[in-house]
Amino acid sequence: MLGATIYLQLAIAGLAIGAVYALVALAIVIPYKASGVLNFGQGELATLGAYAALVLASFQVPYGVAFALVLLGGAVFGMLIERLLIRPIANAPAFTVVIATFAIGLAIKSAISVRWGDTVFSVEGPFGDAPLLFAGLRANPTSLWIVLCTVAVTVLLTLFFRYARTGKAMRAVALNPEAATLMGIRVHATYRWAWAISAAIGALAGLLVAPVVGVNPEIGQLIMRGLVAAVLGGFTSIAGAVVGGLAVGLIETFASIAVGSTFKNLVPFIVLLLLLALRPHGLFGAREVHRV
Amino acid sequence: MIVVAALLLAGAVVGSYPAYMMGMAMVNVVAAIGLNLLVGNSGQISLCHSSFMAIGAYSAALLAAYARVPFWVAIPCGTALAAGVGALLALPARRLGGIYLALATLGFLQIVQIALEEWSGVTGGVRGLKIPKPELWPGAVLTPFAVYGVVAAGCVLAVWTAHNLLHSRLGRELNALRLSPHAAQALGISLARIKLTAFALSAAYAGFAGGLFAQLVGFIDPNEFGISAAVRQLTFIVVGGMGSLAGSVLGAAVLSGLPELLRPVREYNDLVFAIALMAFMLFLPNGLVVLWRGALGRCLGRRAAVA
């Protein structure tokens, strides 16, 4: 019986960290689906969100206001990146775009290092640290808040893509940009929205994870887990990204008991390589067919 | 030979620290050449070039430290091992393209990185690994200037082999793979074989660069071979010129000097690199080598047509 409790406890921990990975995976998948650009700088947008939270907290801004400001700021920043850097090279080879997004990440990370150094700053979660006890299980309120936010984002995104005009336009552009243009959809506007939403979600991930890991320049490393999650989920679907993120969180947590904490970090990447070798379209994604 | 002599002379004239920096630049040139073969010529994305450099550096260092193998055996061993691992990575990677290849290579980089950090009994972990002074044979230790000579000779060897390679059948096949895989296939080029060769070759150059690096620096730690090193090497070829040997040399040489110029504002190093990368992507996508060619006129026009 004790064993079962431990496993449940671990599952809670895994899901909480997995929820952050899920957010990062969503932030990666949305612009990829819309415009075919994989943003390798996404992790640094999370870092930026965390530092924004730090700065706002130092000005005694209430959590709710800071939350809204970080989302808004992330969205504006995402639009700027799309307009200034991605659009001019949209027709370049895949390699150029990959490197350009890497450069964004590197620029943000080094700018942050110049300003704040490697110090890890701690920020308080919105609901304190006292664990909640529930049926013999304990859960950190911050973790619950993260899971809640991830669920909310997932539901909102699903509704957005199903019912909102802009959301439907984004799906149309993803399917066939030319046909969408002919139907009167402004393709560039949908790209801009995709980047805005994605950057806002990325910044949110940073804001949420900040109380857990502390604000430091390495938060961007989240992108590695986010990418594994996105590949696991098949890179094209909202549900896939979320399930992928939770799965990576669980795999990582349980791997730490199976192979020890030293090598648990290896496990997600071995999963990634195996997946890419055996099922590159992920567990849920549609197979991409290339015809000559 | 003449170039090696000239480089030796230059190294002797400028004194020990500048010579060390020039050695460093030459190591970067070797690494950039390897990366450019894979990325610039054959059009495959790689984000794990620094990992192959790590494999070359660590195996050369460990052979020297534990088996007292002389450097001229240890470096080729490291090179061969890197090439072997490169070929292994190519087995899954050759079926992937675009971002999936980027992801696979990024995953590989992380695995190597974690292995170097966690397998500390052998690699020294995050505290790094000290390398014994390079020996010609047990007992005969090279002077720093001789090490510089070895690096210079290695660099010239790399440029020479890459030049010949690019003008051979294999070089044309690599370019064909990038320009039109379908046409290449229709002409009877086996894409799988050529991708495997490209990965192995590129990894071999990286491993060679790693071996030279280990001899030159005398101390290695996993940080030297992380993602920022991989991106820095990509910057070399983007700034220099993709798919061009002159571009690799030019980009690596210029950007290796840059940190020295930026010494007063050291912490801005990475920032400058990132901004240079973005600026070149936007405004000079074909790299410095274009300016170079403009100056030289039609002299290099033939190669421009190939690249």
Higher pLDDT: B171 or A46? It is A46
Give the CA angle between residues A88, A89, A92 to the nearest 5°: 150
CA distance A130 to chain B (A): 34
Q: Quickly state the pLDDT bin for B243 (edges 50, 70, 90).
A: confident
A228 and A268 in contact (C-beta within 8 Å)? Answer: yes
Q: For tokens 């080094």, name the residue.
A: A110
The pLDDT of A87-116, averaged and rounded, is 82
Contact B43 A99 (CB under 8 A): no
Find residue B129's DSSP bridge partners: B220
Looking at residue B304, its pLDDT comes to 47
The overall average pLDDT reported for chain A is 85
The pLDDT of B288-293, averaged and rounded, is 73
Phi, psi of B137 (to 5 degrees): -145, 165
d(CA A144, CA A131): 10
Give the domain range for residue B131: 2-306
For chain B, what is the domain count?
A: 1
d(CA B266, CA B260): 9
pTM over 0.90: no
Contact A88 B282 (CB under 8 A): yes
pLDDT in tens, B126-143: 777 888 777 776 667 777
Looking at residue A290, its pLDDT comes to 52
Determine, yes or no, domain membership for A123.
yes
Identify all chain B residues contacting A236, using CB atoms and an 8 Å cutoff. none
pLDDT in tens, B55-91: 999 998 888 888 878 888 888 998 999 999 999 988 8
Looking at residue A281, its pLDDT comes to 66
Complex prediction ipTM: 0.79
The pLDDT of A208-235, averaged and rounded, is 86
Give the domain range for residue A194: 2-278
- Is 90 exceeded by the pLDDT of residue A99? no
Rounded to the nearest angstrom, the gap between the alpha carbon of residue B160 and the centroid of all alpha carbons in its chain is: 14
For chain A, what is the domain count?
A: 1
Determine, yes or no, domain membership for A193.
yes
Give the CA angle between residues A75, A78, A81 to the nearest 5°: 155
- Is 50 exceeded by the pLDDT of residue B300? no
Task: Please tell me which residue of chain A has the smallest CA distance to B103.
Answer: A227
Domain CATH number, residue A236: 1.10.3470
Looking at residue A276, its pLDDT comes to 81
C-alpha closest to that of A30 among A242, A246, A287: A242
CA distance B227 to chain A (A): 10
Higher pLDDT: B1 or B121? It is B121
d(CA A187, CA A199): 18
Residue B50, both tokens? 């620094």
Domain CATH number, residue B42: 1.10.3470
Chains A & B: contacts with CB separation below 8 Å: 115
Find residue B141's DSSP bridge partners: B135
pLDDT in tens, B198-207: 999 999 999 9
C-alpha closest to that of A221 among A20, A7, A16, A84: A20
Q: Give the β-pairing of A132-134 and A137-139.
A: antiparallel
- Is 90 exceeded by the pLDDT of residue B103? no
d(CA B292, CA B285): 14
Contact B99 A38 (CB under 8 A): yes
- Is 60 exceeded by the pLDDT of residue B33? yes
pLDDT in tens, A132-176: 777 667 778 888 899 999 999 999 999 998 899 888 888 888 888
Using alpha carbons, list the distances in angstroms from residue A107 to A168, A202, B147, B273, B299.
Answer: 33, 16, 35, 8, 37
Contact B45 A98 (CB under 8 A): yes
Q: Chain A neighbours among B 31-50 (CB < 8 Å)? A: 39, 43, 45, 47
The pLDDT of A283-287, averaged and rounded, is 60
C-alpha closest to that of A284 among A11, A16, A14, A25: A25
